[in-house]
Structure 1
């Protein structure tokens, strides 16, 4: 997507894009297993982050219990997972690069929105907006509402969301999806991580405004 005016908005996914949520989620799943008495393979669960919480819980709980267990997990989450979760390398710099270019940086994530905001506040990252509880193509409405021309994520679901919104899909290979998988899903750009994002953004802006 070419720029037609002043640089607008870049959207970012949260888990495994801006934050390495594996340690916190791992700890929360272990605590949930202890609380419910149901075995959860936390090591396995954190290898497939991205989709909504309920999708993972269906591997361990009967369908009729999933909604209630999800509510319990989300209530336990702030005291267990937030402090244990670091920023991904280059996350602050990526948001800063958007701001320095005169744009807005927004977060659009499948994570429960209040918990997403707690993570960002704890890490001192201040996007212009945070929209939670959206996964894959459902992210497109929020991205369009925010006038996002680029969406950055680590999962094929993020690629699908970007494409559904008509935004450029920039994928980072820091989550569960390999570069080849991200490209096959239709990512326009695949970066190793966010450390390469500011340089890519500068080149993209130069080309778009030429």
Structure 2
């Protein structure tokens, strides 16, 4: 087993079934005073990039102060509507069992996600996944713009070299980011990207889901 397993969150460990976009829209209007008409692509992106591109779509100026206020608002609205997130969203089949199985083997786990940390913590807690993850060793949307940067930061925070870590994610951006950072990447075809597309992107292994714990452990070990 590796020393460190890093997980993407959305569509890898859980699905928010539209709640995430609704909360994003609330936070956007709170900090800009403008109702969200359209949103930049979120697949494989980070909140900083999504906010900057979405602001441009609405003719708004973007700066770090806007991002800081948005990140705080997004975290707060996740806290306020955690019950709704729990009711409408769900952990993906097998996610909790796999996290528990990896934890039982003494392997450290954390996350690499485009979510800001406060929102990520709410999502993971709502679905009972947070107890398996060392959140201080992860990397989040406020930490950088791209997956390679975030993976490298998580490795540095954990004090683990790339060859001793594995990253699991559901998008080509996850695959590319992990590979650029020098870690082994397991693609999980539970999002919008097919297993074939994840293989074509360069994933070292690809899973159709997390429901077969032994299969996931084998992919992580290989």
Paired positions, count: 198
Residues 15 and 49, structure 1, Cα contact 8 Å, conserved in 2: no
**Structure 1 length normalisation: TM-score?**
0.77
Q: 1:116 to 1:32 in 2, by over 3 A?
A: closer
- The correspondence for 1:49, drawn from 43, 61, 70, is 43
| Cα distance, 1:149 vs structure 2 | 2.0
Equivalences for residues 51-200 of structure 1 within 5 A: 51-57=45-51, 58-59=53-54, 60-62=57-59, 64-65=61-62, 67=64, 70-81=67-78, 83=82, 84=85, 85-125=89-129, 126=131, 127-129=133-135, 130-133=138-141, 134=144, 135-145=146-156, 146=158, 147=160, 148-200=164-216
Q: 1:150 to 1:186 in 2, by over 3 A?
A: same
Residues 24 and 81, structure 1, Cα contact 8 Å, conserved in 2: no
Residues 170 and 190, structure 2, Cα contact 8 Å, conserved in 1: yes
Partner Cα distance (1:69, 1:173) in 2 = 34
Tell me the C-alpha RMSD between the 2 structures. Answer: 2.8
2:7 is aligned with 1:12: yes
SS of residue matched to 1:170: strand
| Cα distance, 1:68 vs structure 2 | 5.3
Q: Deviations over 1:45-86 (max 9, x none)?
A: 6x7433012333314333623655544443332454452143
SS of residue matched to 1:190: strand
Residues 151 and 177, structure 2, Cα contact 8 Å, conserved in 1: yes
Residues 98 and 210, structure 2, Cα contact 8 Å, conserved in 1: yes
| Cα distance, 1:151 vs structure 2 | 0.6
| Cα distance, 1:25 vs structure 2 | 1.7
**Structure 2 length normalisation: TM-score?**
0.74
Partner Cα distance (1:144, 1:30) in 2 = 32
Residues 25 and 35, structure 2, Cα contact 8 Å, conserved in 1: no
SS of residue matched to 2:48: helix
| Cα distance, 1:197 vs structure 2 | 4.9
Partner Cα distance (1:158, 1:122) in 2 = 24
2:36 is aligned with 1:28: no
Residues 28 and 76, structure 1, Cα contact 8 Å, conserved in 2: no
Partner Cα distance (2:219, 2:166) in 1 = 14
Residues 13 and 91, structure 2, Cα contact 8 Å, conserved in 1: yes
The unaligned stretches of length 5 or more in structure 1 are none
SS of residue matched to 2:166: strand
